[in-house]
């Protein structure tokens, strides 16, 4: 799956193989990696459509694990709109990845050669978060919080 803003960003910068963000002592996000990782992590965490849907339902997406549980409780009205569904699924996957990278030690964003962002865990396992977000948007399963819990264990 191609994501235009990532493709445009990659044209302007050297290739980024991994971006890790951490929240030390509850503080702001830091980064490790090459080529402006904070910018890439920030782009991937925007998820404007998902954030607006959540805000309309009174849910604040604060990049916490608890916010994934709240998203799982949303009434899936987006399933009625075939144009919104894939965008919302993409945003849900990127948000899931953002929470993983911010809260799982050693987790990092990796952009594959095909442009697909995935989360690489310290164990070497690649998490296809966009695919998980699409499945969640389409059917509600797996729940984002459940997916996070399983990924965080590995």
* Other CB atoms within 10 Å distance of the CB of residue 103: 16
Please provide the DSSP assignment of the chain as one string: ---HHHHHHHHHS-----EEEE-GGG---EEEESS-HHHHHHHHH--HHHHHHHHHTT----S-HHHHHHHHTS--GGGG-TTHHHHHHHHHHHHHHHHHHHHSTT-EEEE-TTS-EEEE-TTS-EE-HHHHHHHHHHH--S-HHHHHHHHHH-
pLDDT value at 6 more than 60: no
pLDDT value at 54 more than 70: yes
Q: How confident is the model at residue 23 (pLDDT cuts 50, 70, 90)?
A: very low
Return the pLDDT at 3. Answer: 61
Give me the mean pLDDT over the 131-143 stretch: 95
Return the pLDDT at 140. Answer: 93
Give dist(CA 106, CA 44) in Å, integer.
18
**Largest separation between any pair of C-alpha atoms in the chain:** 42
- Contact of 140 with 91, CB cutoff 8 Å: no
Q: Is the pLDDT higher at 5 or at 142?
A: 142
**In this prediction, what percent of the chain has a pLDDT beyond 90?**
70
pLDDT value at 84 more than 70: yes
Q: Is 54 helix (H, G, I), strand (E, B) or coil?
A: helix
Q: How confident is the model at residue 38 (pLDDT cuts 50, 70, 90)?
A: confident
Residue 107 tokens, joined: 């987790």
pLDDT tens digits, residue range 107-132?
999 999 999 999 999 999 999 999 99
**In this prediction, what percent of the chain has a pLDDT beyond 70?**
76
């Amino acid at each position: 799956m191609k994501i235009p803003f990532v493709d445009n960003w990659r044209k302007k910068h050297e290739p980024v193989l991994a971006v890790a963000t951490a929240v030390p002592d509850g503080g702001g996000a830091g980064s490790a990696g090459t080529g402006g990782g904070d910018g890439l992590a920030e782009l991937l965490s925007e998820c404007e459509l998902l954030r607006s849907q959540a805000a309309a339902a009174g849910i604040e997406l604060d990049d916490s694990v608890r916010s994934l549980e709240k998203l799982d409780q949303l009434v899936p009205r987006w399933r009625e709109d075939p144009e919104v569904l894939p965008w919302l699924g993409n945003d849900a996957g990127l948000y899931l990845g953002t929470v993983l990278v911010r809260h799982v030690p050693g987790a990092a964003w990796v952009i594959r050669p095909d442009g697909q962002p995935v989360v690489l865990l310290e164990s070497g396992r690649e998490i296809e978060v966009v695919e998980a977000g699409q499945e969640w948007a389409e059917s509600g399963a797996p729940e984002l919080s459940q997916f996070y819990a399983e990924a965080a264990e590995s």
